Chain A
């Protein structure tokens, strides 16, 4: 079956540093990918998305990179702030579904 996973379950970064959160996926036919942020006690919040005809997309302080050759997706957060502490998970489209990863918990150290 399809799977979406992240490379690390936890990540700690110093405030002000850049963060990179990785995600691997199995379905080479997926054409749409999304990153979500989930803070404690809240639901997943949409951060940024990317379609398979692109390899990079930038938002405010965030960049998503897509490498279809190795089926790898990453989220880069510039100048990480305490408010960025949360669980981040990726999602990819399948045939008739959206598959979610289990998440990476990002902790920002002041």
Chain B
């Protein structure tokens, strides 16, 4: 039990579909993150939310649309994805948005496959 829960665990979708990934954290944290993990590559930061406000968008294509309704929930809305978007999408949280003195805690990810 990591304290960060992601659903679904696996998702297969066509390029024209619309789907959403969900993340919920039970740690009382105020910052939440979306990462993309591809084989043989380091984790790529996509979005950061701090106290429900988006603080970073790491040049992510507009076919990925994040939503953070409150500090405990984070969504990633997907539409018109490309085959190269197939990856493991990880959600993380930390007490506040800072990289300098606290670790981020990760969920187990959603394995996304684009047909």
A residues at B contact (CB < 8 Å): 4, 31-32, 34, 36, 41-46, 49, 51, 89, 93-94, 96-102
> Cβ of B101 and Cβ of A32 under 8 Å apart?
yes
> Cβ of A100 and Cβ of B108 under 8 Å apart?
no
Measured in the bound complex, the distance between the Cα atoms of B101 and A31 in whole Å is 8
Q: Is B90 in contact with chain A by the CB < 8 A criterion?
A: yes
Q: Mark B67-105, 1 if CB is under 8 A from A, else 0.
A: 000000000000000000000001010000001110111
Q: Is B59 in contact with chain A by the CB < 8 A criterion?
A: no
Partner of A94 from B56, B92, B99 at Cβ < 8 Å? B99
Measured in the bound complex, the distance between the Cα atoms of B101 and A100 in whole Å is 16
Given A41-B108, A42-B108: A97 and B99 interface contact (C-beta under 8 Å): yes
Measured in the bound complex, the distance between the Cα atoms of B109 and A99 in whole Å is 19
> Cβ of B42 and Cβ of A32 under 8 Å apart?
no
Main secondary structure of the interface of B (DSSP, over half): loop
- Nearest Cβ in chain B — how far from A71, in angstroms? 17
Within 8 A of A (CB), among B6-47: 6, 40-43, 45
> Cβ of A31 and Cβ of B42 under 8 Å apart?
no
Given A41-B108, A43-B109, A44-B106: A101 and B4 interface contact (C-beta under 8 Å): no
Partner of A45 from B41, B45, B99, B106 at Cβ < 8 Å? B106
Which residues of chain A are near B66, meaning CB under 8 Å?
none
Partner of B99 from A43, A51, A96 at Cβ < 8 Å? A96
Centre residue among A41, A43, A46 by max chain B CB count within 10 A: A43
Partner of A32 from B92, B100, B105, B107 at Cβ < 8 Å? B100
> Cβ of B42 and Cβ of A98 under 8 Å apart?
no
